[in-house]
Amino acid sequence: MYSRIIGTGKYLPEKILTNFDLEKMVDTTDEWIRTRTGIEHRHIAADNEATSDLAYKAGLAAIEDAGLTAADIDFVLVGTTTPDLIFPNVGCLVQEKLGIRGTPAFSLEAACSGFLYALVVADQFIRTGQVRRALVIGAETMSRIMDWTDRETCVLFGDGAGAVILEAAEEPGIIYSTLGADGRYRELLYASSGVSTRHRENSDIPALRMKGNEVFKVAVRTLESLVDDVIAKNNIEKGQIDWLIPHQANIRIINAMAKRLEMPMERVVLTVKTHGNTSAASVPMALDTAIRDGRIKRGDMLLLEAFGGGFTWGACLIRY
Ligand code: ACO
């Protein structure tokens, strides 16, 4: 038993924040942001939109794309680091909005690798025969944990949600997946406070903190060995991968991965320019973008990869 992707969807909030808008908020320039990151603008959730609203809209789009109704879904899993509430978890909130009852529904947090983590967990449930059709979502409102006075982080992130429907199949589908983490790097990338620490951090509002250039080095090193591992374990040639769908943190990290895989940039799905870094939402939104515009076709070999806070990382080799 394997799992395969039978539908995808995404949702981007209407409001757009450009680099020029940011020039008016912090000491930065469009030129600095574009050349260091590849970002031109990002989307920001409206005041009345929470992560579960974005997740619901992306999930519904994926269900419709698969030609299903919500009643056909028997598992809901959301990767997110910016949940609406401590509980109910975002999976339950999405399940309720979709009108589904009784299925397992939960969320997991693995920062920017959250969607890859969720995809791999759902794949395991399908492979063991417990689940037939899973809705897997990556959704974030990163704007809500930004320190809008910190130019080193607030120019990087955006909001959005992406989703896939995974269905049980006799052929893969997901051919191979790998996940990893290393908790030693906490000081390089973290949220400044949380539920059980806010009393000592003297802050009720968590803000993302990052030592960007140090994260950059570990990200490139880790992702390079990750893609090497995928190639070696599956006994494939680099040229057999049709599309790289990377986490969209920074164009320079993505360029390094394409180089490692000897892939021309035309074979790399890029959304960082218009989405910014949407953490767990970035990979499924990029996937949906390239499927809907016709670049990714049935039968193509895809490599999805991500790296994020934790540190966490993951990759999936998929026959679409
Ligand atoms: N505008 C203008 N100047 C800036 C800005 C800004 N927005 N931000 C920083 N600078 C300045 C710095 O102060 C520094 O100035 P100095 O030389 O006078 O000290 C200079 O620009 C260079 O700063 P660096 O941090 O060395 O710049 P770098 O080239 O490393 O780019 C960046 C920074 C874009 C953050 C990059 O390091 C990066 O993308 N890192 C990886 C991020 C990532 O992958 N995160 C993981 C996922 S996120 C998650 O999991 C939630």
The pLDDT tens digits of the residues spanning 244-261 come to 999 999 999 999 999 999
22 Cα to the center of ligand 1, angstroms: 15
Rounded CA-CA distance 251/257 in Å is: 10
Q: Identify whether the C-beta of residue 276 lies closer than 8 Å to the C-beta of residue 158.
A: yes
To 10 degrees, the CA torsion angle through 149, 155, 157, 160? 100
Lowest average pLDDT, out of 37-46, 195-204, 292-301, goes to 195-204
Dist. CA 100–CA 114, nearest whole Å = 23
| Average confidence (pLDDT) over 126-143 | 98
Residues serving a catalytic function are: 112, 247, 277
**80-90: b (≥16 Cβ within 10 Å) or e:** bbbbbeeebbb
The mean pLDDT value for 12-34 works out to 98
237: helix, coil or strand? coil
Q: Give yes or no for residue 94 having a pLDDT over 80.
A: yes
Mean pLDDT across 7-30? 98
Q: How far is the CA of 208 from the centre of ligand 1 (A)?
A: 14
Cβ(90)–Cβ(224) under 8 Å? no
* Ligand 1 neighbourhood includes 112 CB (under 6 angstroms): yes
Q: What is the pLDDT of residue 21?
A: 98
User: What phi, psi does 83 have (nearest 5°)?
Assistant: -65, 155
Mean local confidence (pLDDT), 123-137:
98
Mean pLDDT in the chain?
A: 97
277 within ligand 1 shell (Cβ under 6 A): yes
Residue carrying the six token digits 């802050």: 203
Mutation probe of ligand 1 site: the residue of 216, 220, 313 with most atoms within 8 A of C-beta: 216
| Separation of alpha carbons 213 and 32, rounded Å | 14
Ligand 1 centroid to residue 160 C-alpha, Å:
22
Dihedrals phi, psi of 260, to nearest 5 degrees: -60, -35
Give the closest residue (by CA) to ligand 1 atom 25: 213
Phi, psi angles (nearest 5°) of residue 186: -45, -45
The region, left, alpha or beta by phi > 0 then psi within -120 to 50, assigned to residue 276 is: left
- Tell me the HSE value of 196 on the side-chain side, using a 13 A CA sphere: 0
Q: What is the pLDDT of residue 197?
A: 86
pLDDT of residue 199: 82
Distance (Å, whole) CA 112 – CA 117:
10
